[in-house]
Amino acid sequence: MRLSFETKEIGAQPMLAIRTTSPMDKLEELLGSLFGEVYGYIQERGEQPAGMPFSRYHSMDGTTVDLECGMPVASPMEGKDRVQAGELPAGSVATVTHLGPYDGLPQTWSALTEWMASEGHNPAGAPWEVYVTDPGAEPDQSKWRTEIYFPVR
C-alpha cells in the first residue's frame, strides 16, 4: 500500500483516558480492557464517545511504553479514579493512515518519521493512533484503518 503523508492543523479534542505503563509485548491485550473501562465510564455518565478510541504514546524505551488509552468526548467531562479528563492538543500534526493489521504499524510509524525528517518537521509532543476500524465489527484485518497523528513544529 502506498502511504500518503500530510501536515494539517487540528483543534483540541476533549477526551477521557487511562494513563499506564506496559511491556510492549503485553500492549495489544491491555488496550482492549483499557478502552472497555473508559467506554464503560462514559456510558455510566449517560454519554457516548465523540469518536473512535486512541492510544497516545508518551515514551517508549524498546521494551516498555508509557501511554494513554482513551476516547474523545463531545465536551469536557470529569474523570474519576483511573479514568482522567484531558484533551488531545490543538496544533500542527503530521499524519498518515495505515491500512491493514496492527503488526504492520511499526513500518508505517517509521515511514512517517522518515518523511517528517525529510520535510523538516520536528516532533513537538506525544503522538497518537486512532483506531478507526473496530476489529470486533470487521474481522478482515486487511480492511482495518488506523490514523497516526504526530504533533510537529
Asked if residue 19 is part of any domain, the answer here is: yes
Residue type at position 55: S
- Give this prediction's pTM: 0.95
Q: Is the dihedral of CA 93, 97, 102, 104 positive or negative?
A: negative
Cell of 90: 490543538
Asked if residue 117 is part of any domain, the answer here is: yes
Asked if residue 103 is part of any domain, the answer here is: yes
Cβ–Cβ < 8 Å for 141, 100: yes
Asked if residue 137 is part of any domain, the answer here is: yes
**DSSP state letters, 110-144:** HHHHHHHHHHTPPB-S--EEEE-S-TTT---GGG-
Asked if residue 1 is part of any domain, the answer here is: no
Closest CA to 149 of 5, 3, 1: 5
Asked if residue 14 is part of any domain, the answer here is: yes
Domain limits at 41?
6-151
Asked if residue 92 is part of any domain, the answer here is: yes
Closest CA to 87 of 12, 37, 32, 11: 12
Each residue's pLDDT expressed in tens, for the chain with a length of 153 residues: 689 999 999 999 999 999 999 998 898 889 999 999 999 999 999 999 999 999 999 998 889 999 999 999 999 999 999 999 999 999 999 999 999 999 999 999 999 999 999 999 999 999 999 999 999 899 999 999 999 999 999
Residue 63 three-state SS: coil
Asked if residue 86 is part of any domain, the answer here is: yes
* Domains identified in the chain, total number: 1
Strand segments, DSSP code E, in 38-90 are 54-60, 64-72, 84-88
The H-assigned helical ranges of 12-100 are 27-44
CATH assignment at residue 43? 3.20.80.10
